[in-house]
Chain A
Amino acid sequence: EVQLVESGGGLVQPGGSLRLSCAASGFTFSSFEMNWVRQAPGKGLEWVSQISARSTTIYYSDSVRGRFTISRDNVENSMSLQMNRLRAEDTGVYYCVRGPMFTIFNSWGQGALVTVS
């Protein structure tokens, strides 16, 4: 069974930093691109970043480019999101998502809450 478990969320002051992690199990992690998707309280889904299976290709949304860094460790079967210079509008639940998003392989973790206040 595919499992994606996020950790590292919490309360941080504006301008501060936080590092989210995603532990993956139940599938060959090194074969899949991975994403972070967030959801502000009461709002819709917003894609944040994507990293290819071997970290060769990385994309960021305009709203986080230059502040957030995505990375992965295919030995530890984990993915991370380093978030710097956090803003109030970064508040929300951050989901670890297996890609490709348009395929049957798409799968979501339960999310980690980040509060910037």
Chain B
Amino acid sequence: QSVLTQPPSMSAAPGQKVTISCSGSRSNIGDNYVSWWQQLPGTAPKLLIYENNRRPSGIPDRFSASKSGTSATLGITGLQTGDEADYFCGAWDSSLGAWLFGGGTRLTVL
């Protein structure tokens, strides 16, 4: 099964802003909600964004997300060294009857 497309890696300086893209198709991102997860080294993924753009309590408002058509974007402002992690997008695919993940983006805060 296909995955959603994310850039493999990104980097930015502390204090800067980064946007991570997630590209899919109509049957997944186009027709369904997108979620984002943060995975710190050696830990389980943690929900960052749900229902396209909503943040669970405890997630700073430095993290935001949006969806347009068959693509989604995660934005992180005021980057901190603690934001260094892998970030994954995900969406249900109505045609496949399967949950799809992006390949993940490794964020380095230089």
Contact = CB atoms under 8 A, between A and B. Distances in A.
Question: How many A residues are at the interface, by size bracket?
Answer: 20 to 34
A45 B97 CA distance: 17
Given A44-B88, A95-B44, A104 B54 contact: yes
Secondary structure of the B contact surface, majority rule: strand
Interface string A103-117: 110111111000000
Question: How many B residues are at the interface, by size bracket?
Answer: 20 to 34
Interface in B25-83: 32-35, 37, 44-47, 50-51, 54, 56
A107 B102 contact: no
B87 to A, nearest CB: 11
B24 interface: no
A11 interface: no
B47 A106 contact: yes
B102 A44 contact: yes
Shortest beta-carbon contacts, A-B, top 7:
A102-B33, A47-B99, A44-B104, A108-B44, A45-B101, A106-B47, A44-B103
Interface of A: 35, 37, 44-47, 50, 59, 61-63, 95, 101-104, 106-111
